[in-house]
Chains A and B, each alone.
Chain A
Amino acid sequence: MTDGMRTSASGMIAQQKRVDVIANNLANVNTTGFKRSRANFEDLLYETVQGPRTTAAQGIVGPMQIGHGVRLASITRIHGQGGPEVTGRPLDIAIEGEGFFQVEMPDGTLAYTRDGSFSLSDSGQLVTSGGNALVPDIVIPPDATAVTISETGAVSVTNGMDGSMIEVGRLELARFPNPTGLLALGGNLFGETVASGFAATGFPQEDGFGRVLQGTLETSNVEIVQEMTDMIAAQRAYEINARAIRAAEDMMQSINDLIR
């Protein structure tokens, strides 16, 4: 019964973790380019009390195995597309389809993001809202009056003097064999890991990369209704495990009372 209590406790811990993940999803319902996570659970090892055996009356019967609860197997990030939100701001860029923007971290390494709310640095470079420069560099000259970004990622500026269009660069996207394996760095950034595999880069609308949409942001792919129903399910599962602990405790109590 003590084992049973530990089993139920593992169930409560699992549901607690699930609520933690749901809470983080809900907190980021308005975060640009946020990807929701899902907690995955699996059963723990089994104690085989008796293996499969042959009985005279029933023939072969199955093994007798007692399970010892549940554990958090993984937290999977669901890289599904978020909805497009038209902002009209020229430096807001959403990716529709596969791919991440590459940005440079302060230590010189690369990080990846779907958050395309860019702005200009003091030197005219395109940077993320966190101030990380886009890779490869795109510099908007100071005399430019308008920026146009095509769906294939070509960035053109309109010269203020004569109104001519000049292409100043092209956006590059990166993608991974296993995006689920990316490490969330906070600040809407992801880092490459052994699990994600190496980044392959390319241009939008080529080699299966998505297209880029100017004046648009990708909203969070969290759906409030789904998270809420998951939360209710987690709460009920938590309660039922607590009840199982109480039942085991009651059984122990009654056997303890036997000794006079």
Chain B
Amino acid sequence: MTVPSILTTARSLAFYSRQQEVVANNLANASSEGFKADRMTAQSFDQVWPEALMSLDLRQGTVRDTARPWDLALESEGFLVVNTPDGERLTRGGGFEVDQAGFLVDRDGNQLLGREGPIHISGETVVVEQDGTVIVDDARAGQLRVETVADPSRLVKEGHGRFRAEDPLLAVEQPRIRQGAIEDANVDALTGTVDLIRIQRAYAAGVDALRTLDGVMSVITDDVGRV
């Protein structure tokens, strides 16, 4: 009877240890543009072991003005689409640049995609409208794709602020893009600190439980059956 309880406790310790890593990663990325926090919870299905579940916290981060024309922030749901060597990827991160060939690219040189392909900038004044229409010197240069998937909480993170979609992309009905602004990470320092303390205490409680179970085991092995 006690051996399964020791296993259960050990599993919960492993869960808390993972959860600590997730919270630590959220806090480490408190200054990453367009970062979306991860949430790790546990849920019991079919009355067996509780299973760890993760989801993406897609709440809007604070949008901060930067006055840099190539900074694009999203104030609605959805993601911008970049073309990486591995295929199309989604991003909320907004510091773009113009490469030598005149294409709008992200920091790693991946082209930002519009409905008619990459956005080419050749001109002096560039205006990006709320719906993603890019206007260069009063002429339309394209419209940025703002897309999402049916269940964005299941997007796979690839690092560098990019997400991989496993499901088909869907256009967002009413996108709101803000030029000259950047979306901060949606990491809440207060909740993060509270989570850290909670995890730490829960872990300590688990260790105490293990110690008690160990004591019970030792009574069984050492004392029971002794004449």
Contact = CB atoms under 8 A, between A and B. Distances in A.
B196 A66 contact: no
Interface string A1-27: 101110110110011001000000000
Contacts of B161: 42-43, 73
A89 interface: no
Interface in B131-156: 151, 153-156
B44 to A, nearest CB: 9
Contacts of B40: 64
Given A67-B157, A76-B95, A177-B98, A4 B24 contact: yes
B25 A178 contact: no
A255 B12 CA distance: 13
Interface stretch (B72-80, B169-177, B199-207): B199-207
Do most interface residues of chain B lie in helix, strand or loop, or is the interface mixed? mixed
A164 interface: no
Given A38-B66, A67-B38, A258-B211, A11 B97 contact: no
Contacts, number: 202
A1 B51 contact: no
Contact of A241 (B13, B27, B45, B95): B27
Contact of A251 (B32, B159, B203): B203
A51 B52 CA distance: 12
A40 B98 CA distance: 17
Contacts of A234: 31
Contact of A60 (B17, B99, B154): B154
A58 B27 contact: no
B28 A57 contact: no
A10 B189 CA distance: 17
Interface residues of B, number: 68
A11 B68 contact: no
B199 A247 contact: yes
Interface in B84-102: 93, 95, 97-100, 102
A73 B161 CA distance: 10
Contacts of A15: 31
A70 B207 contact: no
Contact of B207 (A68, A181, A254): A254
Contacts of B166: 52
Interface string B44-83: 0110000111111000000000111010000000000000
B25 A66 contact: yes
B30 A237 contact: yes
A232 interface: no
Contacts of B35: 42-43
A51 B84 CA distance: 21
B29 A41 contact: yes
B40 to A, nearest CB: 8
B160 interface: yes
Contacts of A46: 156-159
User: Which 9 pairs across A and B sit closest by C-beta, in order of nearness?
Assistant: A11-B28, A67-B25, A208-B124, A62-B154, A4-B21, A57-B45, A45-B159, A4-B24, A41-B32
18 contacts: A1-B21, A4-B17, A40-B95, A41-B29, A46-B159, A51-B156, A55-B45, A61-B154, A65-B54, A69-B28, A69-B29, A178-B99, A240-B27, A240-B30, A241-B28, A250-B200, A250-B204, A251-B199
Interface of A: 1, 3-5, 7-8, 10-11, 14-15, 18, 38-46, 48-49, 51-52, 55-58, 60-70, 73-74, 76, 78, 80, 98, 177-178, 180-181, 194-195, 197, 208, 233-234, 236-237, 240-241, 243-244, 247-248, 250-251, 254-255, 257-258
